[in-house]
Structure 1
Amino acid sequence: MTATPDSPGARAGTAPDAELSVGMVGYAFMGAAHSQAWRTAPRFFDLPLRPRMSAVAGRDPQGVKAAADRLGWDSVETSWQALVARDDIDLVDVCTPGHTHAEIVIAALEAGKHVLCEKPLANSVEEAEAMTRAAERAAASGVRSMVGFTYRRVPAISLARQLIAEGRLGTIHHVRGQYLQDWIVDPDAPLSWRLEKDKAGSGSLGDIGAHVIDIAQFITGDTITRVSGRLRTFVDERPLPSEHSGLSGTAGSGRGKVTVDDAATFLADFGSGAMGVFEATRFASGRKNAIRIEVNGSLGSIAFDFEDMNVLHFFDGTEDARTAGFRRILVTEPQHPYVGAWWPAGHVIGYEHGFIHQVVDLVRDIAAGSDPTPTFADGLQVQRVLAAVETSSDTNSWQEIPT
C-alpha cells in the first residue's frame, strides 16, 4: 500500500511494507544524484517506509523519458503541475534551478505533499520567507519538508558536530570555511544557467558558498549574525552554448553576459562571539571540489577537506604538549555516523553517500511524524546571510542578519 500524505502510514507507526511514493522534478546532475539515493537507501538501511520512484517530471518529452529509463523512474510527466496533482505521489523532490523552487514547493505543500528541495532554498529572501511560511502551515497538518544541504550527512562532518557538541573544542574562537572549484577558470567555458542571475540568484556565493555557511552553522550549533563581504566577476562574457549542447540556460550564437559573481569572500561574526572567514570561488585552479572547514576553540581544533572526505583532523589541546598534534581520524568505523550500514572499517565511501543519508533521515522523520532537518527555516537563515553578503559588497559596509 502507498502511504499518502494524510494517512497514518505517512506520519508514524508505519507498517513495514508501507510505501512512500516519490515524484521528482528535474533530472539533470542533481536529479541523477537524488535518483541514485532513492534507489539505494532502502537496500542498505532499514527504513520504516519503502521509497517508490513513481514519477519524474521534465519539459522535454524525449529527454524525461530517457532519464526515467536510465535512472529508474516508473513513469514521466512533462509538467511539474501534473506531477504535483497526482494522487499517488506522497513526496515531491525538487531538483530544478533556484528561480523555480518557490512556485513548485509551495504548490506541492499546499497539495499535501512532503517536499525535499535542493539548496539554496530560493533565489531571494522574500521567496524563502514565503516557502518557510508554507512549510510551517503544512507541518501543522503533518506534511514535512527539508532543504537539501547534503554535506551535513558526510560522516566526518557529522562527527565534527558531535565533537564540538561534546565540548571537546571548548569555547569556539575561529571558524574558517572555503569552497574552492575551478570549473570556469577557462574564459571560453560556455555560459550556463548557473551564471545567469535571473535563474541562479547568485553565482559562487549561493551555489557553493551556501554549503559552507550551512556546514559552519551546523557543526558549531551557532548562527552567523553579521557579515562584511566582497563579490567579484572575473569573466564578464562567455560563449553561448548551442541549443543541442545539453546545457540549460540562454542558448544561441555569440557571447552572453555573466550576471553573477565568480568569487565571494566575507568576514562573519557568530552569535557566540566567534569570528568567521569564508571564501567561495570557481576560479581556484586545480581545486575540483575542495570544501574546507576549520574550527579553533579554547581546548582544541578540527579541520576537514572534502577532497579527502573520509578523514577528520582533530587536535586535542588538553593532551601532553610533548606528544600533542593533529590526529588523523579515518571516519569509517561502525561507531561513526551512518557508516555502520556500509563497508568494513577502512573501506571508504563517496560523494553520493551524502544524498543517500539524506533520504534515510528524511524517510525516518516522515514515518516518525518529526520535522526533518535542515528545515526551511534553516534554509531561510542561509538565504539571509547570502543576501547580506551581496548588500555588504554593494555598499561596502557591515550588514546585520535579521532574526
Structure 2
Amino acid sequence: MTDSKPTLGVGMVGYAFMGKAHSQAWRTVNSAFDVPFTVDMAAIVGRNEENVKAAANKFGWKSYETDWHRVIDRDDIGLVDVCSPGGNHAEVAIAALQAGKHVLCEKPLANTVDEARAMVEAAEAAAQNGVRAMVGFNYRRVPAATFARQLVAEGKLGTIRHIRAVYLQDWITDPDFPLVWRLQKDQAGSGALGDIGSHIVDLTQFITGQSVTGVSALLETFIKERPLVASTEGLRGTGSEEHGQVTVDDAALFTARLSGGAIATYEATRFATGRKNGLRLEINGEKGSLAFDLERLNELELYLAEEDSRIQGFRRLLITENEHPYVGAWWPAGHIIGWEHTFTHEAYDLLTAIGDNTDPSPTFAEGLQVQLVLDAVERSAANSSGWVTVDK
C-alpha cells in the first residue's frame, strides 16, 4: 500500500546546534503525527562543505548545498527552514517567501525591528497565495506550557496579576570562552536578551494571552573582550591567542507592564554560575498560581485558592496523560518526553496549518511583536533604565 499524501520537500539553512534539533523534528514528525504531507528531507545548507556534508549524512538529509540560494531555486523544495544565525534570517526568509516557499524561521525573528517588519510584509504578501510562515519559539510546544495556557484561558487563575520569568545559563562565565557568533551583534542582534530573553517574553505572552506594553531595563556585559574562535562544537569552543570585542549583552533585567493589567519581571543571563538551562516562570492570579520549570518539563505546579484551606498548597501535575497537549502522539500514559520533542511538535503544527491553509502560530507578526519588546528593552537600558513604551 502506498502513501497517498503529497510530498513536501524541506531545505534547511544551518547545520549546527539548531540544525541538529530541527533535523530530529523533520525525521520524526511523520512517524509521530498524522500530518497532511510526507516530509522529504531534501537538502541541508552550510558554507563549509566538509562540515555540511558530514551533517547531511549524520542527520539524514538527501543532499547538501553550500549556497542557500540553491534551495530557493530547487523545484523539489517547498519549505525552507532557517536555523542559521540571525544575521541572515531576513534575507533568506524573504527570498524564500517571494519564491513561493513556506518558511520556518528560528527565533528571534531578526536582528532588528526594520528587518522583522520587512519579513512580516513578505509573509503577509505570500499568504495571499497560500504560502505560510512561522517563527520557531519551540517552548510553546512543551505540553506543560501549552496546558498552562489552557488553564489560564479557562479562568482557573482568574485575573492575572504577577508574572515572574527567568532564563538562567552559565555557558560563557569562563573569560577564555571564545568570541563565537552569539557574542557578536552583527550576527546575533543581541546577547542573552535575544537568545534566551526572547523565549521568556514569548512564553509568558503565550500562556497569559497578554502582551508586553512597556519596560524599564538594565543590560550588562561582564566580559568585554574574548579570544577569537579557533574551533567550535555546539555551545562549546576553543579560543586563539588573538582577542576581539564582545558587542552584545551578557545579562538582561527588566520590569514590564502587560496589556491585561499584569506586572512582570524578566531576567535572562548567561552568567548564572551553576545554572545550565534554567527557564522558570510563575504566574499569580486572583484565584490561583502556576509555575513551570523547563528542567522539569513534564510537570506543572498549580495552586488553587478555592480549595479547602486544610489541604491547600502547590500540587505537582504530571503532564503525561494522552489528554494533555501533544502527549498522545508518543508513548503510553505516564511516560515522559524531552526537549527535542518540542521541535517535532513545531513541525507538526506548521505542516497542519499549511495543509489547512491557515496561519500557523506564532506568525511573523507575533515574532515582530517580541522583537519590538527586545528593542524597547535596549532603548530603556540605553536611557539608564527609563520607562519605554513598546512600539506598535
The TM-score, its normalising length taken from structure 2, stands at 0.97
Q: Please state how far the C-alpha of 1:251 moved relative to its aligned partner.
A: 7.7
- Corresponding residue number in structure 2 for 1:71: 59
Deviation digits for residues 78-126 of structure 1 (CA, Å, limit 9, x no counterpart): 1001111111110000011001000000000000000000000000000
Cα distance in 2 for residues equivalent to 1:172 and 1:95: 34
Cα distance in 1 for residues equivalent to 2:277 and 2:229: 24
Q: Say if 1:17 and 1:247 are closer, same or farther in 2 by CA, change over 3 A.
A: closer
Q: Residue 173 of structure 2 aligns to which amino acid in structure 1?
A: V
Cα distance in 1 for residues equivalent to 2:232 and 2:334: 40
Q: Residue 300 of structure 2 aligns to which amino acid in structure 1?
A: L
Q: Residue 302 of structure 1 aligns to which amino acid in structure 2?
A: L
Correspondence list, 1:34-183, <5 A: 34-183=22-171
Q: Residue 302 of structure 2 aligns to which amino acid in structure 1?
A: F
- Corresponding residue number in structure 2 for 1:208: 196
- Asked if 1 retains the 8 angstrom alpha-carbon contact of 2:17 and 2:234, the reply is no
The TM-score, its normalising length taken from structure 1, stands at 0.94
Q: Please state how far the C-alpha of 1:245 moved relative to its aligned partner.
A: 4.2
Q: 2:287 aligns with which of 274, 278, 299?
A: 299
- Corresponding residue number in structure 2 for 1:352: 340
Where structure 1 has 5 or more consecutive residues not aligned to the other structure, the ranges are 1-14
Sequence identity, in percent?
A: 60
- Asked if 1 retains the 8 angstrom alpha-carbon contact of 2:214 and 2:387, the reply is yes
- Corresponding residue number in structure 2 for 1:343: 331
| Residue 385 in structure 1 maps to residue 373 in structure 2 | yes
Q: Please state how far the C-alpha of 1:247 moved relative to its aligned partner.
A: 7.7
Deviation digits for residues 190-247 of structure 1 (CA, Å, limit 9, x no counterpart): 11000011110000000000000000000001110000000001111111121x4458
Q: 1:287 aligns with which of 275, 280, 303?
A: 275
Cα distance in 1 for residues equivalent to 2:48 and 2:258: 45
Q: Residue 234 of structure 1 aligns to which amino acid in structure 2?
A: F
Q: Say if 1:44 and 1:222 are closer, same or farther in 2 by CA, change over 3 A.
A: same
Cα distance in 1 for residues equivalent to 2:94 and 2:48: 23
Q: Residue 167 of structure 2 aligns to which amino acid in structure 1?
A: Y
Cα distance in 1 for residues equivalent to 2:273 and 2:234: 23
Segment drifting more, 43-52 vs 153-162: 43-52
Cα distance in 2 for residues equivalent to 1:351 and 1:40: 14
Question: SS where residue 370 of structure 1 aligns?
Answer: coil
Cα distance in 1 for residues equivalent to 2:5 and 2:240: 50
Q: Say if 1:138 and 1:391 are closer, same or farther in 2 by CA, change over 3 A.
A: same
Deviation digits for residues 109-167 of structure 1 (CA, Å, limit 9, x no counterpart): 00000000000000000000000000000001100000000000000000100000000
Q: 1:269 aligns with which of 238, 241, 257?
A: 257
- Corresponding residue number in structure 1 for 2:296: 308
Where structure 2 has 5 or more consecutive residues not aligned to the other structure, the ranges are none
- Corresponding residue number in structure 2 for 1:11: none
Cα distance in 1 for residues equivalent to 2:7 and 2:241: 48
Deviation digits for residues 301-324 of structure 1 (CA, Å, limit 9, x no counterpart): 000110111100010111111111
Question: SS where residue 61 of structure 2 aligns?
Answer: coil
Task: Tell me the C-alpha RMSD between the 2 structures.
Answer: 1.5
- Corresponding residue number in structure 2 for 1:28: 16
Segment drifting more, 56-65 vs 332-341: 56-65
- Corresponding residue number in structure 2 for 1:401: 390
Cα distance in 2 for residues equivalent to 1:240 and 1:129: 33
Segment drifting more, 33-42 vs 245-254: 245-254
Q: Say if 1:289 and 1:120 are closer, same or farther in 2 by CA, change over 3 A.
A: same
- Asked if 2 retains the 8 angstrom alpha-carbon contact of 1:192 and 1:247, the reply is no
Q: Which consecutive segments of 4 or more residues in structure 1 shift more than 4 A?
A: 244-252
Q: Residue 354 of structure 2 aligns to which amino acid in structure 1?
A: I
Segment drifting more, 231-240 vs 122-131: 231-240
| Residue 363 in structure 1 maps to residue 351 in structure 2 | yes
- Corresponding residue number in structure 1 for 2:322: 334
